[in-house]
Chain A
Amino acid sequence: MPAHWTEETALKGRGHRSLGRRWRRVSTRSVIGRGPSRDGTGAVIGRWDPAAAARNPRKVSASCMGRRRRRVDRGAAVGALPEAIAALSRTLPAGPSPEIFRRAKFDRPEAAPALWQLLFRVLSPLSANGASAPPAQGEPPSTEAQVRVVKSELHSQGYPRRALAQLPEDGSQGSRELLLALAWLLARGPLLERLLAQTRVRLGDEIPLCECEALASPGPPVPRVEADGPVDIRHLQWLMGKLRFQWRKLITSQQEQCALLGKIHSYTRGCHSDRSLGHLSVAETELLRDAEGGRQLLRRLESENVCLEAALHWRRQELVFWRWMDTVLGTCPPEASQPTFVPRIPEKGAGEWELVARELQALQEELRGAAEPRRAAWEARVGGWGPEWSAVQRASREAVGLELAALQRAWERGGAAAQPHGPCRLVKSDAGASGGPGLRAAQVIEVLRSREACLEAVLCQLQRQCRQELARLAGALPGLIWILPPGR
């Protein structure tokens, strides 16, 4: 028999007095609280079977309503919390049963392992084609490793509660803290949507338009064996050469893939029931070709649909969850504000910082070097100009101000406002048909070209800077003739 929410009243009876008081205090606001405090039996909540709720939330609420037909409103409201939590569970990867959430409110240790694992799944970066979660490669990480990842990720995202960091690493405790952390993550941003999008079943042939996706998901960080001894610079040259070779290989493979994709798309033209797509994607062609694979795809698609429905359901119902979370937060004593974290500034992060600082300083020097003599020359020249000139001056100043403000906005908005973002499904379409929805490849190519030009300029500038620096150093040595390689 599954445990019931009656445990709340049971706990109260067993001398959790503070808990009981809190319960009654919040019960005036909380939907859930109303049940036990008014009729004193906890009957409604007590009979709720979380497992059944997870299976079919609607039936649960219906049965609740049936039981208390006279107080339909209240009955529905009481069913709403477990229903909302069940929807949440179905959306989350490896979502634990709603019962775990309830136990976590009372900080029961038996709820902790499931929640550590859940948070690990939620926080660890997923592999690029996220259909299979991280543990796909080899065995899942040990509990200790999971706990460490959860703590460090939450910390880096600015999670405020210290209590979490102090939990033991064996993952045996802290279910309430974990529940709070989960709620914090949920409250902060579109967590569910992000998770769903990461594991989305890809039906089309997709390309990411933006490097933020391609590079943001390199899989879980692999502990690497660092070369600890000093290396010769020739080793670096060798690695550089290897890298160049890899890129070349990548480009060739990519070209072949494009050709194959184009063939598949034109061979299957007109086969898709969706007119805006017109042809099949690789996944869809494979579905026709390979019956077993097709069944699997269908199963995955259907289970994703279930998750999506649950997410929409959760969106409609989540208010009651947040009211409940308020009561959970209420059961925690406030923390003393005493930072206990050990500061840790990894050298890599600091190095990045240094790079930016150095670049900015160099830029500032150059700007000063360029602007100051010009200003001096200008002042000398305009000395005796009349008042009509000042109007022109003012107009120029305003124009330049606007231009620079636009430049500043360009990066404050993220640097690339014009850059299309997000995954795209590739569709081969007639050159003539231009009315339909969707991006045109030509547009994207244009954006990419300008980005390419811009990056090339940056790289060339850096190389020029290096050349000047090296020439300066070399100039100090007489008796050497430097012959540059034939230019590009």
Chain B
Amino acid sequence: MLPADCSRRLVAELRDALDACAERQRQLERNLRVSRRLLRTWEPAETPAPQPTPAPETSGEAPSPESTPSPQDLKELELLTQALEKAVRVRKGISKTGERHKALSLKSGSAAISATTASAPSRASGQASCRVSETKPPRGIQQTVVPARGLPECRLLSVGDRTRMGRGSRATKPGPGPRDQQIPPSAALQAPEAFTLKEKGADVDCWLPQPLWKPCSGLEGGSPQSAASLSTGFPDRILLRLPMAYRKAASRNSRLWAQLSSTQTSDSVDAAATAKTQFLQKMQMTSGGPGSGLSAAAVEAEVGLLRTACSLLRRRMEEVLSADPADCMQEYRCLLTLEGLQAITEQCLHRLQELRAAVAGQQLGPWPVGRRPGASLPCGGGTDPIWSPQLLLYSSTQELQTLEALRLRVAMLDQQIHLEKVLMAELLPLVGTQGPHWLALCRAVHSLLCEGGERFLTVLRDEPAD
């Protein structure tokens, strides 16, 4: 058994660490639930990582039977497309809107539906037709026109091109490399799914035909290294347009944050800053509190800085000690560095004692109850805060995973180092005094302190043979 106060402190520290971990886990689980739910609609098959078809096709070969529409189907499709085009022409004639390119883009949009639903015509063609007829031309056109950055030529592919290709969603990829051909046939068989959202009272259909999305998921899951080629090989952007009200509010929001973060000053801001300083001074003068204004929080921050300083100094020392000086000059510099480090350490110790004296003199308790001073490290960014988030660009899922894994690893190491120090301070003195279960204690302490609790040493009693 460990002494009571040592037990209390160590258990409290470990519990704190566990709580911090559990809190992270809870947040993560929450996010995971949301993401899984969102993806489930896109991947109803519930395959965690969709498998590409084992038999890859080259672009010249005949497509595999299950993903090929029969000639009969193709013919029906052609008729359907013609009918749709006609409908659009009529509509356009009535509404008198639409320039040439918009009509074209709408055509290619409808072609995308027909092309992608080709493999499941019995179910999807009806849906597609009714969906297109529901779409109101001005808005519908707008929807399909929008971003598709860098891929205008796909958007303007003529209907004939598409349906003639007739290879389901594969045909919609420009410049197909061999890898791009590996599309799960099951994916192409899924029916489109509609999303509806309200935009300022008017209904706008925002829909996502599944097959167009699916191939990418197959590629992403199957061969992540193709992400780069993937990101350019996304021909028919199915546009999920965010509602107007939201877009307005969001852009207003980012503008306001930018204004708030800007440090640009004006006369009134300067005057207010002066007034604030004067107010603080006046308050300090009329109050009976500590004169120096050295708050517990400031002391805490400074002790944190000294902790950082200590680890930096130690690192520098080890670098110097492990270096092998080649000549007299370098040797001399090593010596000077060591002496300099010694002087700085002296200063740090002195500062720590000053702080201690100041706290004792002012009788202000260093930390309020319930805060954990050791847990957080001081951070350099605090002085110049950025209130709105900046962008962090990543290029592939793997890169993101590396980033997040490293972030966690750093957090874990921070915690481990803190715990190591606490354990050292409490346990090493105990090992120094030999009690009844000294050997067991020694083993446990060795494991906790030297092996991170993962391994144990073996102790053999070497009794001399009589």
Contact = CB atoms under 8 A, between A and B. Distances in A.
Q: Interface majority SS on B: helix, strand, loop or mixed?
A: helix
Contacts of B454: 244
A440 interface: yes
A128 B454 CA distance: 32
A479 B296 CA distance: 52
A243 B295 CA distance: 34
A439 B417 contact: no
B310 A378 contact: no
Interface in A436-459: 436-442, 444-445, 448-449, 451-452, 454-459
Contact of A288 (B15, B197, B366, B390): B197
A364 B31 contact: no
Interface string B390-408: 1111111101111111111
Given A243-B17, A282-B35, A411 B308 contact: yes
Given A183-B279, A258-B400, A374-B334, A233 B369 contact: no
Nearest to A161: B287
B135 interface: no
Contacts, number: 670
Contacts of A378: 331-332, 335
Nearest to B370: A221
18 contacts: A157-B295, A193-B385, A231-B11, A235-B11, A240-B14, A249-B25, A251-B408, A258-B397, A270-B148, A273-B242, A276-B391, A349-B300, A371-B335, A407-B316, A408-B344, A430-B231, A439-B390, A483-B458
Contacts of A347: 9
B309 A411 contact: yes
Contact of A367 (B197, B269, B338, B373): B338
Interface string A265-306: 011111111111110101011111101001001100110110
B391 A158 contact: no
A227 interface: yes
Interface residues of A, number: 229
A357 B309 CA distance: 12
B409 interface: yes
A226 interface: yes
B315 A458 contact: yes
Nearest to B234: A269
B449 interface: yes
Interface string A80-93: 00000000000000
Given A155-B364, A158-B293, A196 B260 contact: yes
A343 B387 CA distance: 36
A363 B344 CA distance: 11
Contacts of B59: none
B463 interface: yes
A201 B388 CA distance: 10
Given A243-B18, A250-B25, A466-B428, A311 B289 contact: no
Contacts of B414: 211, 455
Which 6 A-B pairs have CB atoms at the shortest separation, nearest pair first?
A: A421-B381, A158-B295, A438-B391, A414-B380, A221-B370, A262-B397
Nearest to B35: A260
B392 A239 contact: no
Contact of B404 (A255, A309, A392): A255
Contacts of B131: none
Interface in A454-488: 454-459, 461-463, 465-467, 469-470, 473-474, 479-486
A368 interface: yes
Contacts of B440: 233
Interface in B221-269: 227-228, 230-232, 234, 237, 239-243, 245-247, 249-253, 256-257, 259-261, 268-269
B413 interface: yes
Interface string B267-282: 0110110011111101
Report which residue of B20, B380, B462 has the largest number of chain A beta carbons within 10 angstroms of its beta carbon: B380
Contact of B14 (A210, A239, A308, A311): A239
Contacts of A445: 399, 402-403, 406
A9 interface: no
A348 interface: yes
A401 interface: yes
A243 B424 CA distance: 18
B231 to A, nearest CB: 5
Nearest to B356: A353
